[in-house]
Structure 1
Amino acid sequence: MTELADRTTPTDDDPIGASGMLGPDSVTWRYFGDWRGMLMGLWSGSMQNMHPKLAAGVWDHSDFFGERWERLMRSLYPISGVVFDRTPETGKKVRDYHLTIKGTMDDGARYHALDPDVFYWAHATFWYGNIRCAEAFGPPISEADKRRLFDESRTWYSMYGVSMRPVPDTYEEFLAYWDRMCREVLRDHDAVRTVLDITQLPPPPWMAGWMPGRLWKRQIVVVNRLFLWITTGLYDEPVREMMGLSWSRWDQVRFRAFGTAVDTLMEAVPPRYRRHPRARDADDRVRGRVPSDAPLLETPARNLPSGPERDNPIHYCPVHAQRRAQLPWQSNDVND
C-alpha cells in the first residue's frame, strides 16, 4: 500500500514496527498530540482553506462554520487516531469521510476532496504543523528530528490508502514544495477569512454551562486579536503578503518571547497532561495502564453533530462515543 513500507525493513529500534504503523519511539508520537498544537488551530484551518479546491469543498459541503467548536474537538480524535491507533482502519475511515465531497468551482473546474494534490496538502499542514509548533512554542526540535518527522509523515500518509504521487521523496523536496504552494498556489478565500474570525463563535460546548454569554462576547474579541496575531506570526512571508497582514521586527521579538513563555509553562505541566486524550490513551495502552484491547477512546457526545447530520457520511460520528467517566480505567482524566 505504501512506497515507503515496501523499501523499509524494521529493526528493533525502528519507530515503524512490523505492522507498518508508527510506534511510541517515533518522533511523530513525541510531538503530535501536544496541547500546544491548539495554538496552531487557526493556522492549520486557514492554510488548508487557502488551497482553492479544498476551500471549495469546505464551503460547499462542510457544516464547519455552523458548529466549529464541535467539529474541531471531534475531528482531533480520528486525525490523531491515524497515528496512535496503530491500525490501518482508522486512516481508511478518515479517507472515506471524503468520498462524497466533490463539485464544481466558480471557474468551472471540478474538485474532489480525494484529489491526491488536495488530500496531501491537508496532510502537509498536519505533519509540518508539528515542526512549526515546536519551532514557535516548543519543545525544541533538532534538524535530524525534522527529517525523521518527514520520513514518518510518508508512513502516516500511506495509512489513508490514497495515491502517494504528490508526496515528496526528501525533506528538502518537501520544503521546496511548501514554498511553491505558498508562493504560487494558495489563495485568499471567504473560507479562509471565516476561519480567522472567531468573534461570532459561541462558547465551546464544555464552557457553555458556566460562561455567561455577555462575558464571552466581551473577551472573544480580545482572544480573536491574540490568535490572529499568533497565526500571522506562524505564516510564511508570502502568505502574509497575500493576506495583506503586516508583521514587524518588533512583532517577531514579541512572538519569540510569547513562544518561550508557552514552552516554559507547558514544561511545568506533568508530561501525561500535555497530551490530547487520544494520544494519552495510546501512551496508556503501551504502558499497560489501559488494556490493549479496550475500546478506543472517542470524542464526548457533546461534540457530535446533531439531528440528521449524525447520519451524514462526511462526519466522524462514532455511535459508541462516550464520556471518559464511563470508562473506569480512565475515570480520572479530562476528555475534550
Structure 2
Amino acid sequence: MTQDTSETCPVTSGSAPDATVVAAGCPVTDGGYDVPPEALGPDSLTWKYFGQWTGMLQGPWAGSMQNMHPQLGAAVEQHSIFFIERMPRLYRSVYPIGGVVFDGDRAPRTGAQVRDYHIGIKGVDDQGRRYSALNPDVFYWAHATFFKSTLLAAEWVGGGLTEDQKRQLFDEHVQWYRMYGMSMRPVPQTWEAFQEYWDHMCRNVLENNWAARTVLDLSTMTKHPSLEWIPDRVWQLNLFVMQRFFNFTTVGLFDPAVRELMGYSWSPRQERAHRSFGKAIYRITRLLPKRMLMHPRKRSAWDRATGRLPADSPLVETPARHLPPVEYRDNPHYYSPKV
C-alpha cells in the first residue's frame, strides 16, 4: 500500500461546516445513505455473541490486528492517545462500538458518530505513505476485525458455530457496517470472498509495526484511574502475569501467517491448551446469569427489546471513570459524553 488513492468530499454529520474527509463513496446525506439502514435486532446472532464481557479476552488480539494495517497503525501512532490511557480507552470505546449493533433505530446515528470521530485523522507515515482513517479500505479493515472477533468468540468461548451460522454472521456484519454510512466498495460480497479477503490481508498487507507491537507489550500499561491505590510494585507484578496470560490467549487466536509476521511460535501442545481454556470458559459462563455477562450497552438494549425498559430510554453511556483526560474531552476525535 504505497499511497492513499481515495477522494475528498464534505461530511456534514456531526462535523464542523468546513470539515472534509478522505473517503471514496462519500456520504450523500447527514447519515451517509439515502434511506437509513435497518439495524440488527435481538433475533440476530450478532446480538447473541457480540458485546459479552468475555470479549475482553480478545482485547490485545483486536487492537494488534487493527494496528497491523499500515494506514491504521500510522494513524494510531501519530494521532491516538491510546497508549497513555489504555484501560479507560478500551472500556469506553465498547459503548459506541457496541451501540452500532445494539441501539436499534438509533444505531445509524451512533454509527455516524463513530465515523465522524475519524474526520481529519490523516497524514504521512514514516515511510512517506499517505494515510487516512476514513479511507474506505482502512475503515472496513477495522470493522472486519470486529466481525472476525465475533466469529472467534463464538467458536473459542461460545460453544462453536455451524457453517450456516457463519454465513448468517457474515450477512449480519454487512448490515452492521451499513450503519456507518461509509462506502460499501471494500466489503466482500460473500462469506467465501471474506475468507479470501482475510487471508490476503494477513499474508500480504499487514505489517509488523510499532503500533501493533506496542499493543502487545503490556509492560508500560498505566493504571486505570480507579486503581491508583495499588502499589507500583504490585502493579508491575500484575502486568507480568497479564503479559504471559494475554500472550497465550492472543497468539492462539492469530492466523498462522500473523504469528509468523509477528515472530511468535505456536506448538500443538499450546493449541490444545488454548482450545481447552476456551471450552472451560464456555462451561463456566453457561452457569452464570446471562445479564451478568452482557456489557451495559448490550444489556440495556435487551431490556428495551423485552419491555423491561421503555423503547425510547436514554442510551447507556460510559461512566465518568472511563472518560479521556480532561484536556481531550472537547476534542471531536474522542467519545466523551457528558456524564
What's the TM-score once normalised by structure 1's chain length? 0.87
**1:290-315 superposed Cα distances (whole Å, 9 cap, x missing partner):** 22222110000011112220011110
Q: 1:167 aligns with which of 187, 201, 212?
A: 187
CA shift at 1:128, angstroms?
1.4
Q: Secondary structure at the match of 1:103?
A: strand
Unaligned segments of structure 2, at least 5 residues = 1-24, 26-35
**1:45-86 superposed Cα distances (whole Å, 9 cap, x missing partner):** 000000000000000000001111111111000000001011
CA shift at 1:239, angstroms?
0.4
Question: What is the aligned partner in structure 2 of residue 132 from structure 1?
Answer: 152
Q: Secondary structure at the match of 1:65?
A: helix
Q: 1:77 aligns with which of 83, 90, 95?
A: 95
Question: What is the aligned partner in structure 2 of residue 278 from structure 1?
Answer: 297
Q: 1:60 aligns with which of 73, 78, 82?
A: 78
Answer yes or no: is the 8 Å Cα contact 2:37–2:179 preserved in 1: no
1:158 and 2:178 equivalent?
yes
Question: What is the aligned partner in structure 1 of residue 21 from structure 2?
Answer: none
**1:3-58 superposed Cα distances (whole Å, 9 cap, x missing partner):** 9xxxxxxxxxxxxxx96111110111011111111111000000000000000000
Q: Over aligned residue pairs, what C-alpha RMSD do you find?
A: 1.5
1:238 and 2:257 equivalent?
yes
Q: 1:27 aligns with which of 45, 48, 63?
A: 45
Partner Cα distance (1:109, 1:253) in 2: 41
Partner Cα distance (1:73, 1:173) in 2: 32
Answer yes or no: is the 8 Å Cα contact 2:84–2:222 preserved in 1: no
- Change beyond 3 A, Cα 1:256–1:99: same
Q: Secondary structure at the match of 1:111?
A: strand
Partner Cα distance (1:205, 1:25) in 2: 38
CA shift at 1:198, angstroms?
1.1
Question: What is the aligned partner in structure 1 of residue 143 from structure 2?
Answer: 123
CA shift at 1:160, angstroms?
0.2
CA shift at 1:129, angstroms?
0.7
Q: Figure out how many residues of one structure are paired with residues of the other and give that number.
A: 303
Pairing 1:308-323 to 2, within 5 Å after superposition: 308-319=327-338, 321=339
Once structures 1 and 2 are overlaid, which stretch shifts more, 268-277 or 94-103?
Answer: 268-277
Question: What is the aligned partner in structure 2 of residue 328 from structure 1?
Answer: none
Question: What is the aligned partner in structure 1 of residue 318 from structure 2?
Answer: 299
- The sequence identity of aligned pairs, in percent, is 53
What's the TM-score once normalised by structure 2's chain length? 0.87
User: Residue type matched to 2:118 in 1?
Assistant: H
CA shift at 1:115, angstroms?
0.2
Q: Secondary structure at the match of 2:84?
A: coil
Answer yes or no: is the 8 Å Cα contact 1:49–1:55 preserved in 2: yes
Unaligned segments of structure 1, at least 5 residues = 4-17, 322-336
Q: 1:142 aligns with which of 158, 162, 187?
A: 162
1:50 and 2:50 equivalent?
no
1:203 and 2:203 equivalent?
no
1:40 and 2:45 equivalent?
no
CA shift at 1:259, angstroms?
0.9
